[in-house]
Amino acid sequence: MRKNLWWIVGVFLLLSVVIISWKPANAIKSNLLNNKTAKAFTPKELFAQYVADIYNTANLQQSGMDLSVFQKAFTGYMNLKLTNKLRSVNYLTVVDFTKSSRTKRMWIIDLMNKSLVLNTWVAHGQGSGDDMANRFSNNNESHQSSLGFYLTDDVYFGKHGRSLRLDGLEAGVNSAARARGIVIHAADYVCQNTINQIGRLGRSFGCPAVSPELSNQIIDTIKGGSLLYINGNDSHYLSKLLDETVPSGVLTPDTTNLASKMAKL
């Protein structure tokens, strides 16, 4: 029987089980206990409040991120965390290719401290478009970016220097990332000077390329199994990781067992 994601997150919040941080969970518990209308909140509303709390505390709106994009990224994060797919849980990286390449459309969020670590430029693939990315592919030699959820992996030195390997988590969407050589790497064309000269960033062969000045900081922060989500305008993209259901095997009918399981995540 399928269980709703909002239900488990609601239980998670009400039980004050720590998934990301200690203080935020305690603060949520205190607010709920002191609020006489707390029982009127649905699990979905509780989840929305939790997402909004991180979004507002980290000042993501001021940095240009849309709340709906952050909620999608965080929903995928929760689904993957609940099934122990993440090796590093502190950081969530979001790239929003619905925005112009002239804008700083990459964010690294420290979920434990509810803070924005970095907001910077990121390039898309040549085959995806000029200033705006509007075509996406999982095919080799397409030179297009791929949407969806990725796990970061190890660091290596390649033709672009120090780079970070990525593993796409979605079959047919980004699963060929490793075979295509889709990595995070530095590129000289990711800078204000390029925008001034040609009116947009330069473009990659499909990699989310970043500024040379920030590449080491980005790589060192998110390497080793953290989550990257790339958002874009594509009506064909339907991700199971955005499904509002809890992966099988997480829930039990006994809330005591549930609390024990959640405490180990």
**Strands 183-184 and 227-231, bridge-based pairing:** unpaired
- pLDDT tens for each residue of the chain, 265 residues long: 444 555 555 545 544 333 444 444 455 445 555 554 545 778 888 888 999 999 999 999 999 999 999 999 999 999 999 999 999 999 999 999 999 999 999 999 999 999 999 999 999 999 999 999 999 999 999 999 999 999 999 999 999 999 999 999 999 999 999 999 999 999 999 999 999 999 999 999 999 999 999 999 999 999 999 999 999 999 999 999 997 654 433 333 333 333 333 334 4
- What are residue 163's DSSP bridge partners? 156
- Structural contact between residues 54 and 111, judged by C-beta atoms closer than 8 angstroms: yes
Closest CA to 191 of 66, 80, 250, 104: 104
Q: DSSP per residue over 103-145, as a string?
A: S--EEEEETTTTEEEEEE----BGGG-SSS---B--STT---B
pTM of the predicted model as reported, rounded to 2 decimal places: 0.81
